[in-house]
C-alpha cells in the first residue's frame, strides 16, 4: 500500500468545454446555425425551434463570449498549470451549412489562433470534432445522421481540420457522448426521432452511420497525421443493479450494453454478438454498404475518452430517466446528491475505469467530470466552493486508485473549468467552474471573470502532480 497520490509523470491535467456552451459569436465571421443555436433550455432538453425566433433568448448565442475573451481565459488556465485543454471545433464555423465544397477560412483562422494561444501558454489542445454542434441545415435538408450522406460531409470536415491542425493538435475525439443516441438523438445524432414503434430501428441505423463516420475519421487520421491519436468519446457514468435480485443484476448489465455497444464497435471493430438477439427481437435491419464491416474492422480508435459524473441504479420495471451526466434510475440510499439531483459517487469512477480497461485494454482519458452547483458570492465578495473541492478531491483519489489497479489513464480534464452554459438546462446558474463568470440565466451580467477557492486548490494539485490530494 502506498500513501502517495502522485500521478504518472506524463499524466495530463486540464479542463474541458464545448464550443457551443462557451464561445458565443454564434453568427460571426461566416458561422452557420448549429443545432445548439436553435435550442432554449439546453441542447439536451430537445426544445428546439425550427428557426431562430428573434424575440426569444438563446443562451448559446453569446454564452460566455469565449470567442472574444479566450486569451484572458487561457491566461487563467495557465495560472492553474493546465497541460492540456479540451474544446470542440464548432462544425458550423468551418462548414456553415455542412454540405459546402469549400470551408470557411475565417472559422479555420479562429481555431488557428485559439490553438496557437494554448500552445504558447504551455497547453496541448485536445479537440472534440462534433459536440452537439451539427449544422442545422443537415437536419432540415437531409434528416441528420439518419442519412448516410452525412458520412461524406463529416469526412470532408475531418479532412480539412486534420490537414489544417495536424501539427497543433495531437488528441482528437470524434463524437461527444455518441452513446447518447439512445436518449437524446437530436443532440447526439442531429435526428428528430420521436417515440414510436420504429424508434429503435431509426436510432440504430443513424448510429451505424456515426460508427462508419468514426472509422472514416480514424482512417483519415492515420493517413493525414499518423503521429496523432483519434479516440472515441462516450458518456459512461456507471449503472449498478439496485438489489441483488437477478432481474436487477442482469437488467443493469443489459442496460449498460446499450452504451458499451458503441465503444465495442469503435474499439474492437465489429458489432458485438449480443446485438444479434437485440436486432432480431426488435426487428431491426441495418442497411450497410459492402465495405462498412471491413472499414470498421481496420479503423478502431486508439483511446477511449469518457465523461463520468454519477452513478445510478437499475431496478427491474422502474422507468429510467436520462440526464446529461448519465441515466437516472432508482435512487441509491448510500449516495448524496448535488444541488441538481445528481448522485455523487467517487468510487464509481474507479469502478468504471476498471470495467473499461478490463474490457478493452486501451488507454482511457477522463475528459469530463465535475460538480454543477449553485455558487453564492459571500460577503467578502468571494466564492468559497469547498463542496467542489471535496467532490474533485474524492474523485481524483479514486482515479489514482484505478491507476494503481493497473488502468492506463492518460489524463483528466475537469468539466467546465470556467462557468459555461449548461447543456442540460441552458442555465448559467448550474456552475462547474474554478472561474466564476458574471452572467445570469436571463443573460444579464458583466461577463467578468473571478477566481473561486477551487481555482487555487486545483493549481496546487496540478503543481504537485496529485501528491497534495
Asked whether 388 and 373 are in contact (CB, 8 A), the reply is yes
Quote the CA–CA distance of 172 and 193 in Å, as a whole number.
28
Contact string 236-265 vs ligand BG6 (x = CB under 6 A): ------------------------------
Task: For the CB of residue 434, give the shortest distance to ligand BG6 in the complex, in Å.
Answer: 15
24 binding ligand BG6? (CB under 6 A): no
- Contact between 184 and ligand BG6 by CB under 6 A: the answer reads no
**Which one, 39 or 296, has the nearer CB to ligand BG6?**
39
Query: What minimum distance in Å lies between the beta carbon of 270 and ligand BG6?
Result: 27
325 binds ligand BG6 (CB under 6 A): yes
Rule CB under 6 A: is residue 133 a binding residue for ligand BG6? no
Count of other CB atoms within 10 angstroms of residue 74: 20
Cα 134 to Cα 2, 30, 53, 99, distances in angstroms: 46, 15, 19, 11
Binding mask 357-376 for ligand BG6 (x = CB under 6 A): -----------x---x----
> Is residue 424 a contact residue for ligand BG6 (CB under 6 A)?
yes
Establish if 88 lies at the interface with ligand BG6 (CB under 6 A). no
Residue 422 interacts with ligand BG6 (CB under 6 A): yes or no = yes
Q: What is the DSSP letter of 337?
A: B
Residue from 89, 423, 428, 462 binding ligand BG6 (CB under 6 A): 423
State how far the alpha carbon of 207 is from the alpha carbons of 186, 264, 433, 442, in Å.
12, 13, 32, 35
126 part of the interface to ligand BG6, by CB under 6 A: no
| E strand residue ranges, 153-258 | 171-175, 229-235, 238-241
Q: Does 37 bind ligand BG6 (CB under 6 A)?
A: no
What pairs with residue 307 in β-bridges?
235, 368
Q: What are φ and ψ of residue 336, in 5° steps?
A: -85, 165
Query: For residues 104 and 130, which CB has a smaller minimum distance to ligand BG6 in the complex?
Result: 130
Residue 147 or 307 having the CB closest to ligand BG6: 307
Q: CB 458: neighbour CB atoms within 10 A?
A: 24
Nearer to ligand BG6, 389 or 423 (CB): 423
Could you tell me if 132 and 183 are in contact, meaning their C-beta atoms sit under 8 angstroms apart? Answer: no
| Interface stretch with ligand BG6, choices 2-10, 64-72, 223-231, 415-423 (CB under 6 A) | 415-423
Give 390's Cβ-side CA count (13 Å radius): 9
In the set 5, 93, 242, 430, which binds ligand BG6 (CB under 6 A)? 430
State which residue, 103 or 326, has the beta carbon closest to ligand BG6: 326
In sequence order, which residues have a C-beta less than 8 Å from that of residue 2 and are 6 or more positions away? 404
The values of phi and psi at residue 418, to 5°, are -125, 140
Residues paired with 12 in a beta bridge: 411
SS3 (DSSP) at 366: strand
Verify whether residue 368 is a known catalytic residue: yes
DSSP 8-class letter at 381: S
Task: Tell me which of 179, 324, 338, 413 binds ligand BG6, using CB under 6 A.
Answer: 324
Which residue among the candidates 133, 146, 177, 368 is catalytic per the annotation? 368
Q: Where does this chain touch ligand BG6 (CB under 6 A) — which range of 4-12, 202-210, 293-301, 420-428?
A: 420-428
Binding site for ligand BG6 (CB under 6 A): 18, 21, 176-177, 235, 307, 324-325, 368, 372, 415, 422-425, 430
The residues assigned a catalytic role are: 368
Amino acid at each position: 500500500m502506498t500513501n502517495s497520490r502522485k500521478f504518472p509523470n506524463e499524466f495530463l491535467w486540464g479542463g474541458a468545454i464545448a464550443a457551443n456552451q462557451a464561445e458565443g459569436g454564434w453568427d460571426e465571421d461566416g458561422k452557420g446555425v448549429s443545432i445548439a443555436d436553435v435550442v432554449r433550455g439546453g441542447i439536451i432538453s430537445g426544445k428546439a425551434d425550427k428557426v431562430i425566433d428573434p424575440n426569444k433568448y438563446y443562451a448559446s448565442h453569446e454564452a460566455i463570449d469565449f470567442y472574444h475573451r479566450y486569451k484572458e481565459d487561457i491566461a487563467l488556465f495557465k495560472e492553474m498549470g493546465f497541460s492540456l485543454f479540451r474544446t470542440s471545433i464548432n462544425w458550423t464555423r468551418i462548414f456553415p451549412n455542412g454540405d459546402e465544397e469549400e470551408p470557411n477560412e475565417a472559422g479555420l483562422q479562429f481555431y488557428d489562433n485559439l490553438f496557437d494561444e494554448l500552445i504558447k501558454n504551455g497547453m496541448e489542445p485536445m479537440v472534440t470534432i462534433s459536440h452537439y454542434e451539427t449544422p442545422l441545415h443537415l437536419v432540415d435538408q437531409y434528416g441528420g445522421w439518419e442519412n448516410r450522406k452525412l458520412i461524406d460531409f463529416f469526412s470532408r470536415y475531418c479532412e480539412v481540420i486534420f490537414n489544417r491542425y495536424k501539427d497543433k493538435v495531437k488528441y482528437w475525439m470524434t463524437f461527444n457522448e455518441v452513446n447518447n443516441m439512445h436518449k437524446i438523438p437530436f443532440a447526439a445524432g442531429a435526428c428528430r426521432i420521436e417515440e414510436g414503434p420504429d424508434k429503435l430501428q431509426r436510432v440504430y441505423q443513424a448510429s451505424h452511420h456515426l460508427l462508419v463516420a468514426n472509422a472514416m475519421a480514424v482512417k483519415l487520421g492515420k493517413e493525414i497525421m499518423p503521429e496523432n491519436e483519434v479516440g472515441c468519446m462516450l458518456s459512461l457514468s456507471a449503472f449498478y443493479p439496485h438489489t441483488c435480485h437477478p432481474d436487477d443484476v442482469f437488467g443493469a448489465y443489459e442496460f449498460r450494453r446499450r452504451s458499451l455497444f458503441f465503444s465495442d464497435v469503435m474499439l474492437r471493430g465489429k458489432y458485438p454478438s449480443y446485438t444479434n438477439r437485440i436486432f432480431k427481437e426488435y426487428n431491426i435491419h441495418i442497411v450497410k454498404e459492402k465495405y462498412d464491416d471491413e472499414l470498421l474492422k481496420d479503423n478502431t480508435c486508439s483511446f477511449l475518452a469518457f465523461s463520468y459524473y454519477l452513478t445510478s441504479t437499475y431496478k427491474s420495471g422502474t422507468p429510467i430517466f436520462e440526464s446529461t451526466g448519465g441515466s437516472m434510475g432508482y435512487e441509491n440510499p448510500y449516495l448524496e446528491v448535488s444541488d441538481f439531483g445528481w448522485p455523487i459517487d467517487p468510487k464509481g469512477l474507479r469502478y468504471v475505469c476498471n470495467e473499461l480497461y478490463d474490457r478493452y485494454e486501451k488507454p482511457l482519458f477522463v475528459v469530463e467530470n465535475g460538480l454543477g452547483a449553485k455558487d453564492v458570492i459571500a460577503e467578502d465578495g468571494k466564492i468559497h466552493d469547498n463542496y467542489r473541492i471535496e467532490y474533485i478531491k474524492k474523485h481524483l483519489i479514486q482515479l489514482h486508485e484505478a491507476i494503481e489497479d493497473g488502468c492506463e489513464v492518460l489524463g483528466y480534464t475537469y468539466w467546465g473549468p470556467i462557468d459555461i452554459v449548461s447543456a442540460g438546462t441552458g442555465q448559467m446558474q448550474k456552475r462547474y467552474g474554478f472561474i466564476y463568470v458574471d452572467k445570469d440565466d436571463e443573460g444579464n451580467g458583466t461577463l467578468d471573470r473571478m477566481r473561486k477557492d477551487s481555482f487555487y486548490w486545483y493549481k496546487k494539485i496540478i503543481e504537485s502532480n496529485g501528491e497534495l490530494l
